[in-house]
Structure 1
């Protein structure tokens, strides 16, 4: 039997151990850790996630400019993109064990479907926003630096961008561009699965699936690049 999810002061204490921040408004903390799929929840973390994404970007950009005062924008951008990527946020959410504090549909938190992994990334961004709202930018910065600063010196690789690379590859031989078409959308609203095809003149289309239209488009583009030999299997994102 799984352990009962802590609430109230007990939740605040455990989250404080992971963030270094003690919440004054416990309702705000609860909202940050409530996914839109949670049954009977009065509110969810979607708005906080929106804000947290912006706070994270500001803090990480400021951190990198101070770390690399002589670097050009083109040198800093790949580090920034890697650090604010959903996969990095999801990894940090896993490190913090946020999954056991979330209010969400059991199918989402069970990890039964790969598409559900992004809920942890969303929760991390919502938590950043909640700390910002509850304690101000300095508190949010302290939390971000706690987890992102150790990663910043390692985040040197340009994030994989299949759609961008496909567009560049096509541009070398023609003035065409890939066209993405939604073939289907399945599953419940809180856990959809999109299937998208990418169509390029002179080539057979390729399809890909993902938990959002963007993810499905990227999967289709990656499959196209792999089929045409532009990418090797090692390049395809896991």
Structure 2
């Protein structure tokens, strides 16, 4: 049996004042949801048994306190778009060791479980670069690059096509996987089943953002 590869996960996070604008509604609630979803994503990534480290690249120094999660390193890079933030995070990871394997995740995967990420990373490991589609089959839920390959992130509209065109091999996962359940609209959060604790508490009216600011685990 082949030994499972060890991975470093990079997650980009835009300025939370402007995050998840397509969710609509009260700006304060959108901000709280963006933070909650990011924290759930980071905790799931850090908890995967094949993950050696997680790097979050955020836009604003003021966002750091509410995004701090055990096992996650935060890098502040103001003014970068999503792909430049991922490239910056990848550079940080490989500056310490060029042989590290890289995985990029969006910050809005509140249904993701650590064991699902472990399974996904095991399946993509056979390819130098790989991509997993989101639930709609258009965007990207996971992009990976083994040691010796560049990440080459091309997130944005129709990113799955661009990642495949750049040489990433698509790896299929069940549509029910939390890895594929990113959140862009309110209807993406209709089902509370399987939601991470931070996002679940926020939807129930809990003060997750305030708790995060006080260093309390949600």
User: Relative to total residues, which structure has the larger strand share, 1 or 2?
Assistant: 2
User: Relative to total residues, which structure has the larger helix share, 1 or 2?
Assistant: 1
> Which of structures 1 and 2 has the larger relative contact order (alpha carbons within 8 angstroms, sep 6+)?
2
TM over 0.5: no
TM-score (norm 2): 0.31
